[in-house]
A and B are shown apart, each in its own frame.
Chain A
Amino acid sequence: QKEVEQNSGPLSVPEGAIASLNCTYSDRGSQSFFWYRQYSGKSPELIMSIYSNGDKEDGRFTAQLNKASQYVSLLIRDSQPSDSATYLCAVNLYNFNKFYFGSGTKLNVKP
């Protein structure tokens, strides 16, 4: 079992719709949670970090964390074609040294 699981997609949504990306993790000792965006051929860039249960909003992005269910999600409102990328979920464990990444979900936003 991988530490972090994501549906590989592709997830296709029309422009202006809400895109919902999901991630589950296996270690209950996980403390920090991150969403990275990776364009094809580029390096990952941080979109959101979340550390406590509930929602965290930043512009069009909302991260949701449910530690009881070991579940993290990312909502993208008013999706734009420029949001088309692979979204990586990352989890940092209690020992602080490792950030585990999921395999990523590919998002296609169609104009």
Chain B
Amino acid sequence: GAGVSQSPRYKVAKRGQDVALRCDPISGHVSLFWYQQALGQGPEFLTYFQNEAQLDKSGLPSDRFFAERPEGSVSTLKIQRTQKEDSAVYLCASSLKRAGANVLTFGAGSRLTVL
């Protein structure tokens, strides 16, 4: 596609519910990143994929967070048993090559509100 597409754009969940956030990167982009951005803060790294391989998941805040990219294109970030502190914008970004001297193109984000 022309850009990074994320869905849903807005999600309201009750505490304890599971949510799934989808990212469709730019076609042909090898690298895919998930970031969490709290209000008034910069994006915080969650996890990184190179094709279908999850090479770094050190930023995932707890074992309730899980990400996958089974065919090396679309990725899903799943949050189980959501908590209020999970409320944030979840940004997906992709880049053409392996990370390094490459730039990130961000999607519009998925804003999660946990009540």
Residues of chain A at the chain B interface (Cβ within 8 Å): 4, 6, 8, 31-32, 34, 42-46, 49, 51, 88, 90, 92, 96-104
Contact = CB atoms under 8 A, between A and B. Distances in A.
A32 B48 contact: no
Nearest to B109: A43
Contacts of A51: 101
Given A99-B33, A103-B40, A43 B91 contact: yes
Interface of B: 33, 35, 40-45, 48, 55-56, 59, 91, 98-101, 103-109
B99 A96 contact: yes
A32 B107 contact: no
A12 to B, nearest CB: 18
Given A43-B91, A43-B108, A103 B41 contact: yes
B84 to A, nearest CB: 21
| A-B interface, 5 closest residue pairs, ranked by CB to CB distance from nearest | A101-B42, A43-B106, A96-B100, A96-B99, A97-B56
A97 B55 contact: yes
A51 B101 CA distance: 8
Contact of B107 (A43, A98, A99): A43
A21 to B, nearest CB: 13
B104 A46 contact: yes
Nearest to A32: B101
Contacts of B101: 31-32, 51, 92
Nearest to B4: A43
B42 A98 contact: no
A51 B100 CA distance: 11
Instruction: Among B41, B43, B56, find the residue whose CB has the most chain A CB atoms closer than 10 A.
Output: B43
15 contacts: A8-B40, A32-B101, A34-B104, A43-B91, A44-B104, A46-B103, A92-B99, A92-B100, A92-B101, A98-B45, A98-B59, A100-B45, A101-B44, A102-B42, A103-B40
A68 to B, nearest CB: 20
Contacts of B91: 43-44
A99 B45 contact: yes
